Amino acid sequence: MVVTIKLNSELKRYDPSRKGIIKLEVDDGWTIRQVLEKTGIIRGETEFMILNSKIVNEEEILKDGDIIHLYPVAGGG
């Protein structure tokens, strides 16, 4: 199945084109954690993972066509 990762802000560096979009062919039943491992995104660098308009965690199991939005740890001040 194919899932899409939409990267925001500093996380865009994981996309060589810097557009912030990575499409991945993964096995059925994969979790977000497995997807992060495959793309090399550092664990814990992401503050919010959003899937289907819900905040989810890395154990979330993905379906074909899912779009995961990732936002890095930021800080106010």
Partner 1 sequence: MPYGYMGKIIRVNLTKGTIGIEEPGELFYRTYIGGKGFIAHYLLNEVPADVDPLGEDNKLFFMTGIMTGIPAAGMPRFVVGAKSPLTGGFGQSEAGGFWGPELKKAGYDGLIIEGRSAKPVYIYVKDENIELKSAEHLWGMETGDCQETIREENGDNNIRVAQIGPGGERLIKYACIISELKHANGRNGLGTVMGSKNLKAIAVRGSNSIPYANEAKIKEIGKKFLDMYMQHPLSRGLYEYGTSSTVKNMNAAGILPTRNFMFGEFEGAEKISGDALNETMLKERKGCYACAIRCKRVVEVKDENITVDPKYGGPEYETLAVFGSLCQVDDLKIIAKANELCNRYSIDTMSMGNAIVFAMECVNLGILNKDDFDGLDVSFGNKDIILPMIEKIAKREGIGDILAEGTVIAAKRIGKGSEKVLLTIKNQELGMHDPRGKAGVGMGYAISETGAEHMLAAHDTAFTQKGIAFDALQPFGILEPLDSHDLSPKKVRMFMYLQYWWSFFNMAGLCYFGPAPRGSMPVNDIIELLKAATGWEVSLWEVMKAGERSINMSRAYNIRAGFTKDDDMLPEKFFEPLQNGIQKGTSIDKSEFERAISTYYSMMGWDSEGIPTEGKLLELNLDWIKL
Q: Which residues bind partner 1 (CB under 8 A)?
A: 8-10, 42-48, 50, 53-55, 57-58, 69, 71-77
Work out how close the CB of 73 gets to partner 1 at its nearest, in angstroms, rounded to a whole number.
5
First to last CA, the chain: 41
Cβ–Cβ < 8 Å for 58, 31: yes
Tell me how far, at minimum, the Cβ of 77 lies from partner 1, in Å. Answer: 5
Indicate the residue among 2 and 73 with the shorter CB distance to partner 1: 73
Closest CA to 57 of 49, 47, 65, 69: 49
